[in-house]
């Protein structure tokens, strides 16, 4: 089965072609970072318009580079939510229209499910069941993945997700957009022992996360500096990053112990953070658990994860009518498999 995947949930236009026998045949991602940088964040209306401009040319490019004719496509998968409603509707409309024109089935994919399954594009690939740590821009979740479509959210952020905390802390420190990667780069120059920030919600039972207070701690610390230097800025960034990573690692250890699962999958944009990867590799070695990551390119939003998830759903017989809709809010635990 050969599937075209379309991702337009926020500020990246992603397209891919995945073949269930040959694997990933082609993919491309267009980022809107330069478009939104002057505003310090994503402008939804501009994001939607840019998806409209870029999606069809990107589909043509990927089909050409993957040596795929329209007649060889067996199904179309698109991100149905969660995300920005206008951006989602672009992908939904194009995806359903192509499915109608090509007379093939279409399936809407949950954006977070795409991230959950992205590590399966790699070799070696994880197998069900596994524990997943999802750390994207707007979500921090621990999810027990039993099988395709069978997901149990064990813990999640009650306020700011880790990615949001990275971006907001970067703004506090006067870094550019996107803030998360900029903060991680700055933290490389910092000393870990200069500041010590709390590891929120690790002293109480449960698997939920909260990073809003940590962000506030950074703000008060930064404002308390009478003559801050660039090294001070780097030291604060390092202390913040260490606090987030320790918190994530502590909760992962707790979840693995509670579930007894022997595989950990780390996905989402923050999953590309090298210090987080090193810390979780150390943790999993200590407790005898295998850890899996998508390649850094597939940690951020991309069409490959949507094409792959779509191929699994279509192979299982899941498909929809040609009427299209989008779900800007769509909790993972409300994912309905029909």
Q: What is the dihedral of CA 136, 47, 92, 62, to 10 degrees?
A: -80
String of b and e for 18-35 (b: at least 16 CB within 10 Å)? bbeeeebbbbbbbebeee
Q: Tell me if 251 sits within 8 A of 200, measured CB to CB.
A: no
β-bridge partners, 249: none
* 180 assigned ligand-binding residue: yes
* 137 assigned ligand-binding residue: yes
* 110 assigned ligand-binding residue: no
Tokens of 36: 């939104």
275 three-state secondary structure: helix
* 196 assigned ligand-binding residue: no
Q: Which of 81, 31, 23, 25 is nearest to 302 (CA)?
A: 31
* 15 assigned ligand-binding residue: no
* 273 assigned ligand-binding residue: yes
Q: Tell me if 6 sits within 8 A of 94, measured CB to CB.
A: yes
303 three-state secondary structure: helix
String of b and e for 54-80 (b: at least 16 CB within 10 Å)? bbeebbeebbeebebeeeebbbbbbbb
Q: What angle do CA 246, 249, 255 make, to 5 degrees?
A: 140
* 74 assigned ligand-binding residue: no
Count the neighbouring beta carbons within 10 Å of the beta carbon of residue 275. 15
* 133 assigned ligand-binding residue: no
Q: What angle do CA 155, 156, 160 make, to 5 degrees?
A: 155
* 301 assigned ligand-binding residue: yes
String of b and e for 159-197 (b: at least 16 CB within 10 Å)? ebbbbbbbbbbbbbbebebbbbbbbbebbeebeeeebeb
Q: What angle do CA 278, 283, 287 make, to 5 degrees?
A: 150
Per the annotation, binding residues for Fe cation are: 111, 115, 301
Per the annotation, binding residues are: 111, 115, 134-138, 167, 180, 273, 301
Per the annotation, binding residues for substrate are: 134-138, 167, 180, 273
């Amino acid at each position: 089965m050969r599937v075209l995947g379309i991702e337009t949930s926020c500020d990246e236009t992603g397209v891919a072609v995945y073949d269930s026998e040959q694997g990933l045949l082609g993919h491309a991602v267009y980022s809107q970072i330069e478009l939104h940088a002057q505003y310090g964040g994503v402008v939804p209306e501009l994001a939607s318009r840019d998806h409209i401009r870029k999606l069809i040319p990107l589909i043509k490019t990927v089909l050409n580079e993957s040596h795929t004719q329209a007649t060889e496509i067996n199904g179309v998968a698109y991100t149905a939510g969660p995300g920005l409603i206008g951006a989602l509707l672009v992908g939904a409309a194009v995806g359903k229209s192509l499915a109608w024109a090509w007379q093939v089935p279409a399936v809407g994919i949950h954006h977070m499910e795409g991230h959950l399954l992205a590590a399966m594009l790699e070799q070696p690939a994880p197998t069900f069941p596994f524990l997943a740590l999802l750390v994207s821009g707007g979500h921090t979740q621990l999810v027990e993945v039993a099988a395709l479509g069978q997901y149990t959210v064990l813990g999640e952020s009650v306020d700011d997700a880790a990615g949001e905390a990275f971006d907001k802390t970067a703004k506090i420190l006067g870094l550019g957009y996107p803030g998360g990667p900029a903060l991680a780069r700055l933290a490389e120059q910092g000393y870990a022992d200069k500041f010590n920030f709390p590891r929120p919600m690790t002293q109480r039972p449960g698997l939920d996360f909260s990073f809003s207070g940590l962000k506030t701690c950074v703000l008060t610390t930064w404002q308390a500096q009478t003559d801050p230097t660039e090294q001070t800025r780097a030291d604060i960034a390092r202390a913040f990053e260490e606090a987030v990573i320790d918190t994530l690692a502590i909760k992962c250890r707790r979840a693995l112990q509670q579930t007894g699962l022997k595989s950990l999958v780390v996905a989402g944009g923050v999953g590309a953070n090298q210090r987080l990867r090193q810390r979780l590799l150390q943790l999993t070695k200590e407790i005898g658990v295998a850890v899996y990551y998508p390649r850094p390119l597939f940690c951020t939003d991309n069409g490959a994860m949507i094409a792959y998830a779509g191929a699994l759903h279509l192979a299982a017989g899941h498909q929809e009518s040609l009427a299209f809709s989008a779900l800007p809010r769509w909790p993972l635990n409300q994912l309905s498999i029909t």
